[in-house]
Amino acid sequence: MAIQAPAARPANPRFSSGPCTKIPGFSLDMLSDAPLGRSHRAVIGKAKLKEAIETTREILGIPADYRIGIVPASDTGAVEMAMWSLLGERKATMCAWESFGAGWVTDVVKQLKIDAETKTADYGDIVDFGTLDFNTDVVFTWNGTTSGVRLPNGDAIPANREGLTICDATSAAFAMDLPWDKLDVTTFSWQKVLGGEGGHGVLVLSPRAVARLESYAPAWPLPKIFRMTKGGKLIEGIFVGETINTPSMLCVEDYLVSLKWAKSIGGLEGLVDRATANAKTVWDFCDARDWIANLANDPATASTTSVCVKFTDDRIKDGAAFAKAVAKRLEKEGVGLDLGAYRDAPAGLRIWCGSTVEQADIAALLPWVEYAFEAEIAAQA
């Protein structure tokens, strides 16, 4: 019997895990207030950057005594800047449960050559935070974008820790509650949950992280774009919008537009609710079928943004080729773009469920996933 294609299609087939789909109703006209061709150090440029910082604080509920800086090179730039500036004062604990976390381990162990204990878990699982020594500096990724496994909360992080916690939260910020009192350094980029642009990173520092910056100078040289102190004092200007180098004012405007949208849908609570409802739509779909499952083994750790699924049907002959063929079919049909699992992750699909995605589009995509699955099973035979 011929397999029937679903009648309905997602209005927006963009499910990429970064850059993620723009805010609903986005158009380039919305950026017309960007001060193009003006200096980012002019009054208007500085005002835009400051607004971006302060609206970020307001929506994410970041405490008033935490510094927020816009830094070069997207989330990677923010994480590198933090690790190169802060680590080495004491032992580090490096946590990884997917490829981005693993990348930070490589940097610290092989490049910086810091005395570090490495804690890893396989794709689908998470490091047990109850076993970590928080008197060391602990580096981790809140949401593993390539495995779809996230920390459920920060309860295991002690309030009276002596080390710093350095958290790559790029696929978590704006879609998940982050416990600021447990995070000394938090990083993210604009291209994820808010559907902004690549290139710019955000670095959030607790007072303890600032104290470390002002009391400790690493033994290695720091390039200009990593330097946050001068003469042993924090360069405060960075944290009010005096960026280290030139930002794109077009991307800043785009971020401001996304932040305004975020406020209009109820701020953080609205953003979290949208991602959770999207992810639940995928979870329910998987629970009701025996040929597809969430890659996250423990539902408590299942991501609400980068939802990763695997095909579990034992008729599948070559798992990697099968998953690629399903993703290719969805792309060819124009119903689901950029759904393939990350190159280093187990075979499957990764369906971005972040807050800019409409639940109706997830609901319309899933019957197509079933259709593509059946079509590829048939194609194998």
Ligand X SMILES: Cc1ncc(COP(=O)(O)O)c(C=O)c1O
Residues that bind ligand X (CB under 6 A): 18, 74-76, 100, 141, 145, 168, 170-171, 189, 191, 198
Q: How far is the CB of 317 from ligand X (least distance, A)?
A: 31
Expressed in angstroms, the distance from the first to the final Cα of the chain is: 14
Query: Residue 98: helix, strand or coil by DSSP?
Result: coil
Q: How far is the CB of 169 from ligand X (least distance, A)?
A: 8
Strands (E), the chain: 67-72, 92-96, 116-120, 137-141, 143-144, 149-150, 165-168, 185-189, 200-205, 229-230, 233-234, 292-294, 306-311, 349-352
Q: How far is the CB of 59 from ligand X (least distance, A)?
A: 19
Count the Cβ atoms, other than its own, within 10 Å of residue 162.
12
DSSP label at 302? B
Q: Which amino acid is at 97?
A: W
CB-wise, 84 or 368, nearer to ligand X?
84
Q: Please report how many Cα atoms fall inside a 13 Å half-sphere around the Cα of residue 142, on the Cβ side.
A: 31
CB-wise, 137 or 168, nearer to ligand X?
168
Give me the phi and psi of 124, to 5 degrees please: 105, -20
CB-wise, 100 or 134, nearer to ligand X?
100
CB-wise, 148 or 364, nearer to ligand X?
148
Residue with structure tokens 């916690």? 165
Q: How far is the CB of 172 from ligand X (least distance, A)?
A: 8
Q: How far is the CB of 343 from ligand X (least distance, A)?
A: 12
CB-wise, 76 or 85, nearer to ligand X?
76
Q: How far is the CB of 143 from ligand X (least distance, A)?
A: 7
CB-wise, 191 or 373, nearer to ligand X?
191
